Amino acid sequence: MGIKPHKGPRGQELAICTCCDCGATEQVRAAHGGSSGGQGRPMMSLAKEGQAIRKIEAAGWALVKKKLRCPACEQKRREANIKHCTQEEPMQKTAMTAKAKTPATVTDLRKPTPMQKRQIIGILEDVYDDDLKRYRGKETDKSVAETIGINVMPGWVAEIREDMFGPDGSNDEMETLMAEMREWRAARQKEAHNARIHLENAEGILRDIDKAIEQVAGFEKRQAAIIEAVGPKAARA
């Protein structure tokens, strides 16, 4: 596979990806994560190599059967496969007709290679918390599989994790989010309680004001009755 670590002009950690067919190269930012090799040459861990693969695949490159190809060569490979399948289709139909009377067979499910198992275990060692029995950060079975490459299935990661590490009930990000949600809910409940108290106090004040207005209206009526009984002189006074 054509991926090698490289130090940039300002010391940045890079990965040089080389097409196995035409030799075209492309650089991506990728942490090396390994100790230095002979003569100070950088080394790249399997986990960081998987991250470089994810970045280069996002740029249109493809990793198929441990061969890295640039977008142009990958397109050629796909077109050649389509042409090959088209040519073999009549022969396949004949073979299928010949086998139509034979009992159907069940093929074994695809399983990880020894190399893929080692890659999965290597990444799990970095991202799984043995004490808390959960993933660190935002990692999941799916993210571990994607870090290694498109040919790795999340189910393989889940099986190895369950067998050698533990459950995946949650991860650090989920626990942090749950704690923040509980804290936020408690704060809003407290605010709602305080608001209800203020509202009840305001309603009490409004009732008192309404009573005072009714009392003033009563005073005005009494005054009007006195004026009417005394006559115009009292009105002028």
**For residues 138 and 173, is the Cβ–Cβ distance under 8 A?**
yes
In DSSP notation, 71-126 reads: HHHHHHHHHHHHHHHHHHHHHHHHHHHHHTTSPP--PPPP---HHHHHHHHHHHHH
Which ranges constitute the DSSP H helices of the chain?
46-58, 71-99, 114-127, 141-148, 154-164, 172-230, 232-236
Neighbour count for residue 126 (Cβ, 10 Å) = 15
Percentage of the residues of the chain whose pLDDT score is greater than 70: 76
pLDDT of residue 72: 92
**Tokens representing 165?**
């590490």
Q: What is the pLDDT of residue 61?
A: 86
Mean pLDDT for the stretch of residues 192-205: 88
Question: How far is residue 101's CA from residue 105's CA, in Å, rounded to a whole number?
Answer: 12
Per-residue pLDDT tens over the stretch 46-93: 666 777 888 888 888 888 888 889 999 989 988 888 877 666 556 666
CA gap 168, 127 in Å, rounded: 11
